[in-house]
Copies of this chain bind each other. A is one copy, B any other.
Amino acid sequence: MNAPAATTGSFTMPTEKGLDHLVVELAATWGADAIRDSDGTELSPDLMKLGFEVFSTLALVRYDQAWAKQHPDHAQQKYLMAGPTLATGGELRLPLLAGYSDQQFQIDAQHDPKEWWEVIDRTSGAVLPLAGWSFDAASGAVVIAKPAPFHQYTVAFLVFQVWETTSMYNHLTNGWTGVHQRGLDPRHPETRAQMLKDVDRFIDEKPQIGWVRFTSMFYQFPIVSDDKNNARFKDWCGYLDTVSVAAIRDFEKEHGYRPRPEQFVQAGTYNTTKMVPTPFYREWVAFIDRYVHALSKDCVATARKRGKKSVLFFCDHWIGTEPYADNFQEIGYDGIVGPVINGRELRRIADVPAPVQKELRLYPYFFPVNLRNEPCFKEGGEPVKEGRAYWMAVRRSLLQAPVDRIGFGGYLSLVQKYPDFIAFVTRLADEFRAIKAASGMQLPQQAPFRLAVLTAWGKTRPWMYDQTWPDGGFFESLAGLPVAIDWISFEDLRRDGVPPGTGVLLSAGDAGSSWSGGSEWLDGCAQARIREFVWTGGGFVGLLDPSACWKDGKLFQLRDVLGFDRETGQTLDIKWNVGAKSVDQHFITADGVPPLGRLRDGVFACSTQAEILAKQDGLIALGTNRFGQGRAVYFAGFKLGASANRLAQRALYWAAGKEDTLQRSFAADPRVDCAYYPATGRMVIVNSSSETVETQVFDQNGKTSELELPPHGQIIR
């Protein structure tokens, strides 16, 4: 027998067919109060009688495979791009599905190719006249009779997706066999109606359940597979799977114009979220959101009419639900659940601005292999080590953002062979419940300033920029810091200025990307807003390529604010030596500077007020600047770790001019994090390292005490 948890509740168990006894036994051990099924598992009638809260999974687009077979033209669609393919002489043939999975996609020849497809000469940039190409249905190729020699051509063409992405994933990753499930598109009124009936039918089948776990709604984030069924494009926030003839026709009715195929394939980049969205793509997203919102609302209402609560699985088919949109609450979900490997992902759930039950699906899943396809619950695997690494990251940010529940997924049969893992989860569950109780589900004491994070997406895509997967970088550090955050877009900034209460504005990411802002920086209004904010006393923190957009001989448009810019080889001879001094002693670096990973190169100081706080590998790694009454900090790199967390925190407090408030709910040792909850008067102190740590701890008023924490330890007082 496993030693049971000290506390119970707030914990959801996966079930497994034929292993009811194990479910019951582990539920007792872990203090679970809820069970759930999932793709490929079933809830037995016996289990459902045991008093657990029951979540049952409904994947609407796959639920009615019979309907799907009857309505093959209601399968989900998308645009794909064939090529670029080079014309080397004579007629050019572009086999459309070359390089794509023909198990996942079928060419849509039902809708006239000449109406719906687009052939582009990518070398000249010209769209080919319709007479210039033909579709050879027998071979599935577009044929260009007289291409320009040595020009490249592409075809944007429509496909039906005949193997639904999650079904495909489970076959390929978890070795499933059996039928390749199809996904239905509710854009068709009959299928839309059928799906609402499906919610009823589903509840008819499982009257004992308390919750319908929508997993998720209608449109998967796109995973486009190549001819070996490996992913060749994926985008966790992408709307590619929402595209269909039916949807485009509806869009045309609403907006008065039909988008070009190129607007969807965008030269093969498919409007990836990492690119600054085009005006059209923003329109398309809004158009889809309206539809998904309305239909989701109907689904939830249907479940509610039957007395069931609804929870949104914030993954897979989440596209269009937009949990950060202003009207998300109107859908009426009772809960949201999502997979979480680190603090960033926890915050993506926890920060959803709706009073719904929030649940974390923790890792590792009870699968033979892990997220990296390495052994986990099989020989060579180290599930405890893996689980602890995730939990240390999750727990740290949990202090800053409480959630209601946790749970695991996968096969219990695999877990039963790992008693040390079972014990690890028992401890984890107790730690989670203790933090939940201590927090009173309220926020802890935070810094006396807010942080505004500026991206091209603003508040709809918080916590999405990740320097390194799966570890994370600066934003993972941020996820565990006691700072309230506003995510703002350039449009927000132009319209409303820097949000009230902002102490520091942050810009981070790769040059040209949506995270750094790319072409958004060409609009001077945002720049003027930021200059005014900093000049009059605000703080600015830039990471990697802040305000980067090559123009006027500058890469960083805010080089005057930052005090630094990057030489990219076009202006090598233009180096006004401002004589920036290196500074050894500084508030920001008082706890040291860890290696910041691969640094942006070519960084140089371009303000007489710039100070260099750290050089690494001969390059400027960290610097500061004064700009009017304000302050700026520039990081040329960032590599996650306890010391880097501290560096990030100190940088934010310094930029805000609030150095004197750092040592509140604070530990001297960066491996230890503290959170004080005014609502309960409790303080949680955690050691995220695998070492015993003795440290000075500062309470909410800055009063100190000495404390020793065991490895991974957690103390509440």
Contact = CB atoms under 8 A, between A and B. Distances in A.
Interface of A: 84, 86, 88, 99, 121-125, 148-152, 226, 230, 232-236, 238, 266-270, 272-275, 509-516, 518, 524-525, 527-529, 531-532, 535, 550-554, 560, 568-577, 598, 601, 628
A48 B111 CA distance: 92
A128 to B, nearest CB: 14
Given A123-B527, A152-B531, A275-B571, 16 more contacts: A88-B535, A121-B524, A122-B552, A123-B524, A124-B524, A151-B524, A152-B560, A226-B576, A269-B553, A269-B571, A269-B574, A270-B574, A272-B570, A512-B568, A512-B570, A516-B569
A246 to B, nearest CB: 26
Number of identical protomers: 2
Nearest to A266: B553
A315 to B, nearest CB: 16
B535 A570 contact: no
B528 A573 contact: no
A623 B622 CA distance: 33
Nearest to A598: B601
Given A511-B568, A553-B266, A560-B152, A574 B122 contact: no
A317 to B, nearest CB: 18
A152 B230 CA distance: 50
B511 A84 contact: no
A266 B524 CA distance: 18
Contact of A528 (B150, B269, B535): B150
Nearest to A515: B569
Given A268-B552, A510-B568, A601-B598, A233 B574 contact: yes
A524 B628 contact: no
B535 A577 contact: no
B569 A232 contact: no
17 contacts: A88-B535, A123-B525, A123-B527, A123-B528, A148-B528, A150-B528, A230-B577, A232-B574, A238-B573, A269-B553, A270-B574, A274-B569, A510-B570, A512-B550, A512-B568, A515-B569, A518-B570
A272 B571 contact: yes
Q: Across chains A and B, which 3 residue pairs bring their CB atoms closest together, nearest first? A: A510-B569, A123-B524, A267-B552
A372 to B, nearest CB: 15
A185 to B, nearest CB: 23
A162 to B, nearest CB: 21
Given A125-B524, A569-B510, A553 B86 contact: no
A657 B509 CA distance: 42
Contacts of A121: 524
Contacts of A152: 531, 560
Nearest to A552: B267
Contacts of A516: 569
Contacts of A150: 528-529, 531-532, 535
A380 to B, nearest CB: 23
A563 to B, nearest CB: 14
B125 A513 contact: no
B149 A573 contact: no
Contacts of A553: 266-269
Contacts of A525: 123
Contacts of A84: 560
A268 to B, nearest CB: 5
Contacts of A628: 88
A438 to B, nearest CB: 38
Nearest to A466: B572
B573 A235 contact: yes
A125 B552 CA distance: 10
A99 B607 CA distance: 12
A226 B578 CA distance: 10
Contact of A572 (B270, B274, B527, B577): B274
A226 B88 CA distance: 55
A713 B272 CA distance: 59
A86 B573 CA distance: 24
